[in-house]
Amino acid sequence: MAYNNHMFFRTLAPQTVPIPAELNDALLGSFSSIETLKADFLATANAMFGPGFVWLVYQRRAQQTGAGAFRILPTYLAGSPLSEAHWRQQPVDMNTQNAMSVGGLSGVDFAAQQHQQQHQQQGDAHGTAGGFGPHSLAGKEARRRAPGGADVHPVLCVNTWEHVWLQDYGIDGKADFLENWWDRINWNEVHALTPPDAMKGGRLTGGVFNAIGV
């Protein structure tokens, strides 16, 4: 939740900030126009039933081939767009175990045992050149994500919790709050948060055209 609020405040500005040309072109690789991005983003945020955040994220393509794309991603309550945020790779939560339940091992010893077993199951493969399946670079990265998690890079978010807008805008004022928020986005910060490989796309779904060499 602290990360979510930090991102929300980081991308606010006291005045209108124009979108940098490089970021503008990158966004047009995923949306037909900035107005389309705005309409879709604000409609998603306004339609959320309950509190949460709506994010603009950059999603890389699988296997790191070709350009990725920007996506609109809603998360509810304190949910995070980061797939690792709620994922525990250690199969046992030591906060809910005692010495007897883990065979008399201390937390440190049990973690070491689990680590050794994982390496044995993986064949202890260190290189990725020529690797495939779980031993490839993409496979190793996938193991760090929760099941079904996506590799996304957040660059912008709006907070839709009621206490953010209800007092100033009233019970029917959520849409007005979102319009005013859009006019106060610090696009320079969004540009700074955008990964460099996202800038390789171009206008009119440039990510797709770049991937096929057009």
> What tens digit of pLDDT does each residue of 38-76 get?
999 999 999 998 899 999 999 887 655 556 899 999 999
Architecture per CATH, domain 2-86+151-211, reads as 3-Layer(bab) Sandwich (3.55)
Helix H or strand E encompassing 45: helix 34-47
Structural domain boundaries in the chain: 2-86+151-211, 94-143
Per-residue pLDDT at 199 exceeds 90:
no
- The pLDDT value recorded for residue 205 is 40
pTM (predicted TM-score): 0.68
- The pLDDT value recorded for residue 68 is 84
CA distance 4 to 6: 5
Residue 42: which of 174, 211, 195 has the closest Cα? 174
